[in-house]
Amino acid sequence: MHKFSVVIPFRDRHDHIKVLVPYLREYAKTNSLDMEIIVVEQNDDLPLRRGALRNEGVRIASNDIIVLHDVDYLPDLDVPYWIEGTDVYRPVRRVEFVEMDGSSRQEENVPAGYRQFKEHTDNNFFGGVLCITKNAFLKINGYNPLFEGWGLEDDEFRERIRRNKLRVTSGMGSFRALPHPDSYKNDELFRKNQVLFANREQLISFGINFGTKKNHFNKEKASQYQVDVWLEVTDWDIVQPIVQTNVKNIHALDYGVFATLDNVTQDHVQRTVVEGRRWEPEILALCEKYVKRDSVVVDIGANMGTFAVRLSQLVGPNGVVVAFEPQRIIYQQLCANIFLNKLSNVFTHQLAIGREVGIVSLTPIDYSTGAPGEVRIHGNSGEAVQCVPLDNFELTNVSLIKMDVERYEPFVFDGARKTIEQNRPVILFELTTLPLPDYPPDFVVNMLHSMKYNIYQSSEWGDYLAIPQEKDDNV
């Protein structure tokens, strides 16, 4: 008798699991299979991580043959779940979309994104149901846990199967797909997945080693739904994928890949990236809230591009990101990261943004030990760089300005009056109360108030959010 472990990633599909499990029990009985059923439930408020859930299920599976099974797929009883002499078996060939009672679903009731899956006639489809040996799964290190929501995690898994030259056998099985809401290419999560997939040759995620801090075996749910194991996943570990590339010092975040300098121990921005974490996640979240698609976004003090890359995704292919970074080495790093992420809508400038056209000096920096993110533009000595007012660019359709200019804010605001007045963008900025030449400590606040902006402190580190009064939903 063949032994299988069926791993089912799960979240809130209770109607489906009530249909699938009894059906699998009948399927195992009909085909004389010893089938272990493992349900891995994501029990938190984070975006769904189907691949990571599968990794957790395989980790605890008792058998050598694993069936990775979506919760909404029902096999015909004569479909084989395994063929000897292969590493990977794709049993799905034809899919019939049915209602919960098993009756045929009308074409117009099938979500548009799923209609293409009726016939899996090529070798690219790895969704729905996939059978794999545990050894093969471990060899390719499981699923990439960075994929969230719906889309492309199976495609990236397929690529690593091919890269490792595993034996893949395709079947002719017919399956029935139960109805569920259309999640096809869902908004920002899918765009994140597209970035990950585009950089798949640089990233090797050791998914099977991607652990969780807290896993809870729920015996009550296992009994309720008649499964062998019900694993609840909560509190995910920090994702730190392994990177393979010909370019030195490449690190991955959830929305892109980034090159760092050799010595980053004293630079907060680069050290955070090396650790696989978002730099200033609170500010990024505000960008994700206020950036308008197809608009222009201005990034003043772009540093190595941790914001510019994400802003590029938020404005979309018809939008534009204008990024300014005065520090020469960091500017080169910014350009490299724009290139690595294959972005065509980011325009970079090695310029300082200030009150008037002229030359300013950057504080000297020791690249062997120093912190490039701490460069202050109003130093008295160091590298000379061109300074230009933002108004000189005559930008239109600006939805957001983000600036991080190390106490140079009054100069930047003073040279951006026209841009702010004409576009009324949301502005994210740091604010210092230290006096500067020609400017009182409250200059920026008074200027924004005179322009009818509301100002909110957005972090404990001195970050602020300015919203035009006519656009402010918080009032």
Domain residue ranges in the chain: 2-237, 245-471
Q: Write down the CATH number for the domain with range 2-237.
A: 3.90.550.10
Mean residue pLDDT across the chain: 82
Task: Quote the pLDDT of residue 267.
Answer: 77
Cβ-count burial of 421 within 10 angstroms (0-12 exposed, 13-18 middle, 19+ buried)? exposed
Indicate the pLDDT class of residue 200, thresholds 50, 70 and 90.
low
Locate 265 and state its tokens.
């121990």
Max mean pLDDT among 20-34, 416-430, 432-446 falls in: 416-430
Instruction: Assess contact for 351 and 326: CB atoms under 8 A.
Output: yes
Q: 83-101: per-residue pLDDT in tens?
A: 888 999 888 877 777 777 7
- Given the structure tokens 């090396």, which residue do they identify? 274
Sequence-ordered list of residues with C-beta below 8 angstroms from that of 88, at least 6 positions apart, any chain: 130, 131, 132, 133, 136, 161, 166, 167, 168, 169
More confident residue, 461 or 292: 292
Q: Write down the CATH number for the domain with range 245-471.
A: 3.40.50.150
Q: Is 320 helix (H, G, I), strand (E, B) or coil?
A: strand
313 vs 308: CA distance, rounded Å = 9
Q: How many residues does the chain have?
A: 475
261 vs 264: CA distance, rounded Å = 6
More confident residue, 144 or 353: 353
Kindly report whether the global pTM for this prediction surpasses the value 0.75. Answer: no
Locate 173 and state its tokens.
């099985």
Task: Quote the pLDDT of residue 372.
Answer: 53
**pLDDT of 375 over the 60 cut:** no
Locate 157 and state its tokens.
């898994």
Instruction: Assess contact for 302 and 334: CB atoms under 8 A.
Output: yes
SS percent in the chain: helix, strand, coil, step 5: 30, 25, 40
Indicate the pLDDT class of residue 433, thresholds 50, 70 and 90.
low
Provide mean pLDDT across the span 132-152: 86
